[in-house]
């Protein structure tokens, strides 16, 4: 029997501001989805929260992109929004970009990560959930998990991993995807996914047998809405053990914090801090961005868990390094590279400021690159 694991997430109201979720909203969403389990539309469900976002975790046999499953998530978020509105929570319903559900939740605001597989004799999975960042935050850890033997020893040692993994990379601006086979094409992969504003990893497959190993949400709210409506705060599912990276190999990239885009007003670079469920409440300068790791064993579709995997004190050092990185970046204030580069500010108020000043720009005698000079230089090369 093929099982589908669907994780659908949205920010439907923050408590307080954009820092956390409210228990009454979370309970409403949970109860609604729980009833769908009782009705037999789903096998099992669970709810995770990270910062001001709620993720609905569902198992079922309907496959990915299924209308019934997407509708359940949509209606659960609508119900939660009603509670958020009653409590006048901040940005109530902010990620539900339309009033009407139209068959598939993708493109309507919420983030979606789903995979279908034959449940193994034992099926450990990890669901990562981040707040105050964007889907490209997964690019670096996915590379380390599935293509860097210095991080994942199994790539060298486990015979099922030794043939490597294939990454499906999505161009966020054209919607086109490309499959890149590692280790053979690892430099091609890095050439693309190092451009975090343009390319994101959508899926990872095991070369040994084509099995799905990981999948991530890649929805970018600003590209859907055409304006800034909050960061995308992505989710990701990774399968573990017996021919997939061990739990420790999956978590290892997070022991060395790196810099991701997001944080305050979705307009800053900052360290991604791995935290326990309890500490997933970004408040300092609305951040720094953070990530939780929820481990589950799946038994006949039932979700056994979650285990709070970043609760391990072995991640304390990563948290303190992330704090230091945060201090360094904060020193830059509104200046780059703390603030995102101009191209990434496209969906904020920056274009409006430029528009306002447009007619006040005048010609000067300052030296500037001339077309013929550039051509001369090119000829010399
Ligand atoms: C970032 C985020 C927050 C808000 C900030 C301003 O993803 O959600 O940093 O951008 O708190 O929020 P508004 O504009 O709603 O006052
Ligand atoms: Mg929010
Ligand atoms: Mg959020």
Q: Label each residue of 287-301 as H, E or C.
A: ECCEEEEEEEEEECC
Question: Is residue 373 in a domain?
Answer: no
Q: How far apart are the first and last CA of the chain?
A: 62
On whether both 315 and 166 belong to a single domain, the answer is: yes
Distance CA 339, CA 323 (A): 17
CB atoms closer than 10 angstroms to residue 123: 21
Half-sphere exposure (CA, 13 Å, Cβ side) for 106?
13
**138, 250 Cβ separation under 8 angstroms:** no
Angle (CA) 314-318-324 rounded to 5° is 145
* Counted domains in the chain: 2
On whether both 98 and 130 belong to a single domain, the answer is: no
CB atoms closer than 10 angstroms to residue 83: 19
Distance CA 277, CA 307 (A): 10
Is any ligand 1 atom within 6 A of the Cβ of residue 132?
A: yes
Residue-level pLDDT at 378: 56
Question: Is residue 150 in a domain?
Answer: yes
Look at the alpha carbons of 231, 292, 96, 28 in this order and tell me if their dihedral is positive or negative.
negative
On whether both 85 and 183 belong to a single domain, the answer is: no
Q: Give the ligand at the shortest distance from the Cα of 262.
A: 1
On whether both 36 and 182 belong to a single domain, the answer is: no
Distance CA 291, CA 8 (A): 16
Instruction: Ligand 1, residue 18: give the atom nearest the CA.
Output: 8
pTM: 0.95
On whether both 186 and 266 belong to a single domain, the answer is: yes
52 to 18, 178, 231, 267: CA distances (angstroms): 6, 33, 11, 17
**205, 147 Cβ separation under 8 angstroms:** no
**Rg of the chain, C-alpha, whole Å:** 22
Question: Is residue 101 in a domain?
Answer: yes
Question: Is residue 134 in a domain?
Answer: yes
Residue-level pLDDT at 373: 58
Residues of the chain with pLDDT under 70: 230, 370-381
- Which of 100, 118, 136 finishes a domain? 118
Distance CA 329, CA 339 (A): 9
For residue 245 the two structure tokens come to 């990276």
**7, 113 Cβ separation under 8 angstroms:** yes
Distance CA 23, CA 168 (A): 37
Domain containing 237: what range?
A: 120-328
On whether both 2 and 135 belong to a single domain, the answer is: no
CB atoms closer than 10 angstroms to residue 228: 17
Contacts of 207 (CB under 8 A, 6+ apart): 163, 164, 165, 166, 181
On whether both 253 and 305 belong to a single domain, the answer is: yes
On whether both 141 and 237 belong to a single domain, the answer is: yes
Instruction: Ligand 1, residue 132: give the atom nearest the CA.
Output: 7
- Which of 98, 118, 138 finishes a domain? 118
Asked about 231 being catalytic, the answer comes back as: yes
For residue 204 the two structure tokens come to 């990872």
On whether both 250 and 137 belong to a single domain, the answer is: yes
- Which of 84, 118, 152 finishes a domain? 118
Distance CA 183, CA 149 (A): 10
Mutate to test the pocket of ligand 1, among 18, 234, 261, 269 (most ligand atoms within 8 A of CB): 18
312 to 68, 183, 277, 347, 356: CA distances (angstroms): 37, 31, 12, 38, 51
Q: Whose CA is nearest to atom 6 of ligand 1?
A: 265
Distance CA 58, CA 77 (A): 14
On whether both 84 and 227 belong to a single domain, the answer is: no
Asked about 356 being catalytic, the answer comes back as: no
Distance CA 98, CA 94 (A): 10
Is any ligand 1 atom within 6 A of the Cβ of residue 17?
A: yes
Residue-level pLDDT at 265: 93
Mutate to test the pocket of ligand 1, among 264, 288, 330, 340 (most ligand atoms within 8 A of CB): 264
Residue-level pLDDT at 351: 86
Residue-level pLDDT at 370: 67
Distance CA 116, CA 309 (A): 23
On whether both 308 and 240 belong to a single domain, the answer is: yes
On whether both 104 and 126 belong to a single domain, the answer is: no
DSSP 52: T
Q: Which of 231, 286, 296, 347 is catalytic?
A: 231
Residue-level pLDDT at 366: 86
Question: Is residue 89 in a domain?
Answer: yes
Distance CA 163, CA 207 (A): 6
**Distance between Cα 44 and ligand 1 center (Å):** 33
Residue-level pLDDT at 379: 53
Residue-level pLDDT at 166: 99
Question: Is residue 219 in a domain?
Answer: yes
Distance CA 30, CA 235 (A): 18
Distance CA 56, CA 217 (A): 13
Q: Which of 163, 188, 228, 308 is catalytic?
A: 228
């Amino acid at each position: 029997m093929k099982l589908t694991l669907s994780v659908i997430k949205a920010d439907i109201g923050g408590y307080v501001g954009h820092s956390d979720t409210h228990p009454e909203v979370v309970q409403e969403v949970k109860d609604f989805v729980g009833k769908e389990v009782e009705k037999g539309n789903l096998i099992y469900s669970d709810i995770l929260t990270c910062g001001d976002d709620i993720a609905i975790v569902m198992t079922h046999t309907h496959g990915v992109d299924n209308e019934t499953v997407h509708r359940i998530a949509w209606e659960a978020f609508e119900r939660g929004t009603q509670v958020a509105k009653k409590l006048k929570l901040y940005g109530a319903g902010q990620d539900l970009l339309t009033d009407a559900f139209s068959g598939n939740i993708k493109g309507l605001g919420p983030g979606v990560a789903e995979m279908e597989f034959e449940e193994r004799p034992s099926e450990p999975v990890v669901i990562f959930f981040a707040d105050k960042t964007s889907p490209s935050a997964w690019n670096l850890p996915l590379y380390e998990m599935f293509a860097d033997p210095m991080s994942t020893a199994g790539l060298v040692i486990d015979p099922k991993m030794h043939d490597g993994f294939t990454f499906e990379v999505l161009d966020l601006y054209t919607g086109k995807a490309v499959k890149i086979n590692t280790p053979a094409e690892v430099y091609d992969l890095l050439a693309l996914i190092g451009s975090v504003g343009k390319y994101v990893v959508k899926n990872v497959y095991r070369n040994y047998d084509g099995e799905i190993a990981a999948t991530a949400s890649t929805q970018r709210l600003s590209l859907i809405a055409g304006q800034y409506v909050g960061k995308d705060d992505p989710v990701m599912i990774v399968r573990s053990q017996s021919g997939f990276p061990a739990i420790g190999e999956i978590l290892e990239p997070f022991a060395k914090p790196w810099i991701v885009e997001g944080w305050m007003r979705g307009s800053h670079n900052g360290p991604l801090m791995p935290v326990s469920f309890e500490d997933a409440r970004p408040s300092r300068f609305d951040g720094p961005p953070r990530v939780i790791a929820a481990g589950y064993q799946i038994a006949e579709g039932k979700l056994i868990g979650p285990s709070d995997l970043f609760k391990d004190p072995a991640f304390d050092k990563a948290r303190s390094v992330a704090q230091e990185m945060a201090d360094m970046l904060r020193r830059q204030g509104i200046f780059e590279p703390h603030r995102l580069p101009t191209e990434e500010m496209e969906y904020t108020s920056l274009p409006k400021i430029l528009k306002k000043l447009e007619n006040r720009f005048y010609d000067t005698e300052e030296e500037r690159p001339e077309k013929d000079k550039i051509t001369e230089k090119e000829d010399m090369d």
